Structure 1
């Protein structure tokens, strides 16, 4: 009798396992299939991104070489190719280079638009903020309104923004241009008290405060001219917090590694 009971129990367990298999195997198989498709899609996307970055790198380097040789036509063509092929860092840098060529050709509206497009091409402030700053400088000299200039510059003056002291100085000059010396003075005072302010910017801020206090508003033109001589970070060689140049390829690789880590964490 014991053997009979054991056989019955075994058959019951076997039947239960079969029912569980019929119920859950399709679900598990579907999940595995979805995971496989997602992994293949991610791999394909990463391969495509790498291929595009390589194309953009080659075109961008060709543009730099054309600039160095004085061939602006070839440089424009190469940077346009890098802009089209690349994304993120290369697209932002190529657009900024094209904007610089537009400035040289005195196509100021085109240059402002290209700088604006460069700022939108990459969310990293190290690349986007210099483009926003340069667009604001061009508007300062070409009929920009106070509201427009403040809207462009104020976000750049926030803490930890790479162009903060330059944007504060530009904001102060903008307010002087529109006959708002008290508001301008506030910006220049912040520059004299800031810890990470370049010494040349600090000295000009102190000079501007002295002129405002003395009522020498006519001294604005020399200050503006001096301010324009301060070179912001070059788009061709963005720098990190340690002051070392950032390689666009390394920047893109770091972003891809971060994205992969986030995807792995989600799984």
Structure 2
């Protein structure tokens, strides 16, 4: 009798295991297939990205060599190839170089468009913010204050890589549009900031002293110095040579 019970119990266990197998084996199979597809997808994406980076690097290097040889037409073609073939990082750099060529040719609207395109190409602020900042500087003297603020305010947030430079540009824009009080407040914050570059702090000191002396009109030289001072940036594109701020 005991043998009969054991046999029945074994058959019940067998049936239970079969039901579990029928239930879970398809699920496990799907998981394994998904994992395999994901692994193959990652491998393919990584290979493609490496290939695009290599092609972008080669074309970008040719563009830079052409620039050094003062062959802007050849440089432009190489940078266009970089934008077409390269990964996002090289696209951002190449678009900024194209924008620099447009500035040299006095084609400011084209330069702004190219800098904007570069800024939208990457979600990494280290790559995108320098391009967005340069576009904002190019429209400082012509665009309404609201447009300038819309461009610079996100860049001026504390954790952004160029926040001090963007805060300075915002202060200068507000000063140019007659908002002296708001501009002075921004310059004071730059004076007191803990991670403000020395040249920005120096210009802020001069700006506050000049505003307090009632000679804010003399700040044009400071504004020009700020616009021409190239902030640290990855692959800065044909940035103007920095000049020392005017002493008042």
TM-score normalised by the chain length of structure 1:
0.81
- Provide runs of 4+ in structure 1 moved above 6 Å: none
Q: Distance in 2 between matches of 1:55 and 1:167?
A: 33
| Aligned positions, number | 237
Q: Secondary structure at the match of 1:66?
A: helix
- Equivalent in the alignment of 1:227: 226
Deviations 1:6-52 (A, max 9, x none): 33333333333333323332232222222222222222222212211
Q: Do residues 173 (structure 1) and 175 (structure 2) align?
A: no
SS in 2 for 1:89: helix
Does residue 24 in structure 1 map to residue 24 in structure 2? yes
Equivalent residues in 2 for 1:104-123, closer than 5 Å:
104-123=104-123
> More displaced, 150-159 or 195-204?
195-204
Q: 1:139 to 1:19 in 2, by over 3 A?
A: same
The whole-number CA distance in structure 1 between the counterparts of 2:95 and 2:46 is 23
Q: CA deviation at 1:234?
A: 4.1
User: Is the contact between residue 76 and residue 98 of structure 1 (CA under 8 Å) also seen in structure 2?
Assistant: yes
Q: Distance in 1 between matches of 2:22 and 2:60?
A: 57
Instruction: Return closer, same or farther for 1:131/1:10 CA change in 2, 3 Å cut-off.
Output: same
Q: Is the 8 A contact 2:172 2:223 kept in 1?
A: yes
Aligned to 2:39: 39
Q: Give distance in 2, aligned partners of 1:127 and 1:85.
A: 18
In 2 relative to 1, CA 22–201 (structure 1 residues): closer, same or farther, beyond 3 Å? closer
Contact persistence 1:173–1:184 (CA under 8 A): yes
* 1:79 and 2:79 matched: yes
Partner of 1:201: 200
Residue 162 (1) aligns with residue 161 (2): yes
Q: Distance in 1 between matches of 2:30 and 2:161?
A: 48
| CA-CA distance at 1:91 after TM superposition | 1.6
Q: Indicate whether 1:15 and 2:15 are aligned.
A: yes
Q: Supply the distance in 1 between the matched residues of 2:230 and 2:23 (Cα, whole angstroms).
A: 68
Is the 8 Å Cα contact of residues 157 and 163 (structure 1) preserved in structure 2?
Answer: yes
CA RMSD of aligned residues (A): 2.0
**Residues 107, 235 of structure 1: alpha-carbon distance in 2 compared, 3 angstrom cutoff:** farther
Report SS of the residue matched to 2:143: coil
The one-character-per-residue Cα deviations of 1:189-229 (angstroms, maximum 9, x if unpaired) are 11111222222222222222222222223213222222233
Equivalent pair of 1:52/1:86 in contact (CA under 8 Å): yes
Contact 2:99–2:110, Cα closer than 8 Å, also in 1: yes
Residues of 2 paired with 1:225 and 1:151: CA distance?
Answer: 21
Segments of structure 1 that go 5 or more residues without pairing to the other structure are 239-267
